[in-house]
Amino acid sequence: MRIVTWNVLGLTGYPRDVAVQAIGRPGEAANCDHFASIFTGLGADVLALQEGVTHPVARDIARRCRLHLATFPSPHAWPGHVLSRFPIVESRTFSHAVAGDELPCFSPAAGVAAVCRRRRV
């Protein structure tokens, strides 16, 4: 099983001012096409994304890649996502808040996803 992890910086590209002209803004069709092509080209069975985008944008990219998706919302910003060739059978988000804290622990996003790897015949 090939597992890839990537901090995608909100799918903005880098440097942002140059990237926006080349690949568009997150959520725009050109941006989704660009990253769907990149992600598909990785050949990953499971792709974990940090500093992701909103769930609807991640869902659009997952559909373009024909991958299953689990999203890990953040109490502050930068959700995480897992895209998988295999069905995702369970996912959990860790967001532990303590009274008086400005930001909870794991403020960007933290979670776990269980995938069901099908046996090959």
The pTM assigned to this predicted structure is 0.86
pLDDT at 78: 85
Intervals of the chain under pLDDT 50: 121
Indicate the CATH number of 3-115 among 3.40.50.300, 3.60.10.10, 3.40.630.40, 1.10.630.10.
3.60.10.10
Cα–Cα distances in angstroms (integers) from residue 15 to residues 2, 9, 12, 21, 88, in the given order: 29, 11, 8, 11, 33
Strands (E), 18-108: 46-50, 68-72, 80-84, 88-93
Q: Are the CB atoms for 91 and 115 separated by under 8 Å?
A: no
At residue 73, the 3 state secondary structure works out as coil
Q: Is 28 exposed, middle or buried (0-12, 13-18, 19+ CB in 10 A)?
A: middle
pLDDT at 113: 95
Q: Where are the domains of the chain?
A: 3-115
pLDDT at 121: 43
